[in-house]
Amino acid sequence: MSGEAEPGFVIQPAPRPVLPVTGTDRLFPVHRVYCVGRNYAAHAVEMGHDPARSPPFFFQKNPDNLNLTGAFPYPAASRDVHHEIELVVALGTGGRDIAVADAPACVHGYAVGLDMTRRDLQAEAKELGRPWATAKAFEASAPCSPLVPVSRSGMLDAGAIWLDVNGERRQTGDINQMIWKIPEMIACLSGFFTLMPGDVIFTGTPSGVGPVARGDRLDGHIDGVGDLAVTVV
Ligand code: MN
């Protein structure tokens, strides 16, 4: 037992995950990180699925997987780590069974994120019918830009999203190609979980996912939100 812990705790509490907010020196405290799978038809197809028969679905990362450092450490236990550029939606309010019409008011802001994925472990999990935790929810697996509040960006329902690797365009799409639009995904998610202020949602990736290697430079962009630059180390 350590004598160093904060009073009232048997061990030192972990730091609270936060996102910086553009235009302010205040921070957005992160509660949970939800992710949407196969939310762009072209990406579902490239992964071997028929989007007409297999709708999007949810999985999670850990809040402390958010990575604001600009560096992505190539993780252990994989030889095939992929980039997935995604719009991140941050919730300022939550609730249960939120109506689609009420969902836009829950959005506090947006960020540019990368859902880094151990594709080999994900393929094995799919094959064996196992969870995706080791493929998705590992350390530093969610590089993320600062949050842009809706007060600056306006509500987003369209806009280019792309990712360059070492200056070469790899992923391109438009937010308007999402199968579940942002209000629909908030409404649907709130039927499974009690959404809370501080929850963030990675909203799925357009097509063009592929492997990264140490030394790669990833440059992501979403119109109306901004840029995210990450080096694989
Ligand atoms: Mn993803």
* Ligand 1 centroid – CA 73 distance (Å): 18
Please determine, for residue 1, whether its predicted confidence score (pLDDT) is greater than 80: no
Residues in the chain: 233
Q: What is the pLDDT of residues 10-33, one digit of tens each?
A: 999 999 999 999 999 999 999 999
Please determine, for residue 2, whether its predicted confidence score (pLDDT) is greater than 80: no
Distance CA 202, CA 187 (A): 15
Structure confidence at residue 76 (pLDDT): 98
* Ligand 1 centroid – CA 217 distance (Å): 19
* Ligand 1 centroid – CA 27 distance (Å): 25
Distance CA 61, CA 141 (A): 8
- Antiparallel, parallel or unpaired: β 142-143 and 66-67: parallel
* Ligand 1 centroid – CA 164 distance (Å): 17
* Ligand 1 centroid – CA 141 distance (Å): 11
Please determine, for residue 5, whether its predicted confidence score (pLDDT) is greater than 90: no
Residues with CB under 5 A from ligand 1 (ion): 84, 115, 205
Q: What is the pLDDT of residues 28-80, one digit of tens each?
A: 999 999 999 999 999 999 999 999 888 899 999 999 999 999 999 999 999 99
**Of all residues in the chain, what percent carry a pLDDT higher than 70?**
99
Structure confidence at residue 53 (pLDDT): 84
Kindly state the average pLDDT of the residues 222-233: 98
* Ligand 1 centroid – CA 8 distance (Å): 39
Distance CA 139, CA 65 (A): 5
* Ligand 1 centroid – CA 3 distance (Å): 42
* Ligand 1 centroid – CA 7 distance (Å): 39
Please determine, for residue 91, whether its predicted confidence score (pLDDT) is greater than 90: yes
Residue 171: both structure tokens together: 């992923």
| Structural domains in the chain plus CATH codes | 18-232 (3.90.850.10)
Structure confidence at residue 3 (pLDDT): 60
Give residues with Cβ within 8 angstroms of 209, minimum separation 6: 43, 46, 47, 82, 83, 84, 117, 119, 171
**Of all residues in the chain, what percent carry a pLDDT higher than 90?**
96
Structure confidence at residue 159 (pLDDT): 98
Can you give the pTM of this predicted structure? 0.97
Structure confidence at residue 118 (pLDDT): 98
Structure confidence at residue 64 (pLDDT): 98
Kindly state the average pLDDT of the residues 163-178: 98
Residue 132: both structure tokens together: 């995706």
Q: What is the pLDDT of residues 103-157, one digit of tens each?
A: 999 999 999 999 999 999 999 999 999 999 999 999 999 999 999 999 999 999 9
* Ligand 1 centroid – CA 131 distance (Å): 15
